[in-house]
Amino acid sequence: MENFIVSARKYRPVTFNSVIGQGTVTATLKNAIKSNHLAQAYLFCGPRGVGKTTCARILSKTINCSQVTNDTEACDKCESCEAFNTNRSFNIHELDAASNNSEMI
Ligand SMILES: [Zn+2]
């Protein structure tokens, strides 16, 4: 059990191209990155399991990557990608909105 990884984490897509069923979303995000026209904020809305967190993670990884590929994907080799992959990036912080949804005291 010490190496137990939740399947949603283990099999989560790590590139825009590997996301299935959200082609319009990934194409829009890739175009925004490619044309350097990122919005101030992005809201990912929808029922669970459709890829909100996945797309948000890929977006944050890609816009922090220092060597984005010609296909507008994160390189997976630079310092930022390495930090993201090992969950030690100071620039990217994942906050689970499903658990953090009420007033903090
Ligand atoms: Zn990179």
pLDDT at 1 over 70: no
Question: What separation in Å is there between the alpha carbon of 35 and the centre of ligand 1?
Answer: 18
What would the pLDDT profile of 74-100 be if each residue is shown by its tens digit?
999 999 999 999 999 999 998 877 788
Find, among 80, 62, 49, the residue nearest to 15 by Cα: 62
What would the pLDDT profile of 26-62 be if each residue is shown by its tens digit?
999 999 999 999 999 999 999 988 999 999 999 999 9
* Greatest distance between any 2 Cα atoms in the chain: 46
Q: What is the domain partition of the chain in residue ranges? A: 11-85
Q: Looking at domain 11-85, which of 3.40.50.261, 3.20.20.70, 3.40.50.300, 3.30.565.10 is its CATH number?
A: 3.40.50.300
Find, among 26, 36, 34, the residue nearest to 57 by Cα: 26
The token pair at 98 is: 């499903």
Question: What separation in Å is there between the alpha carbon of 29 and the centre of ligand 1?
Answer: 17
Which residue would you say has higher pLDDT here, 9 or 16?
Answer: 16
Question: What separation in Å is there between the alpha carbon of 73 and the centre of ligand 1?
Answer: 8
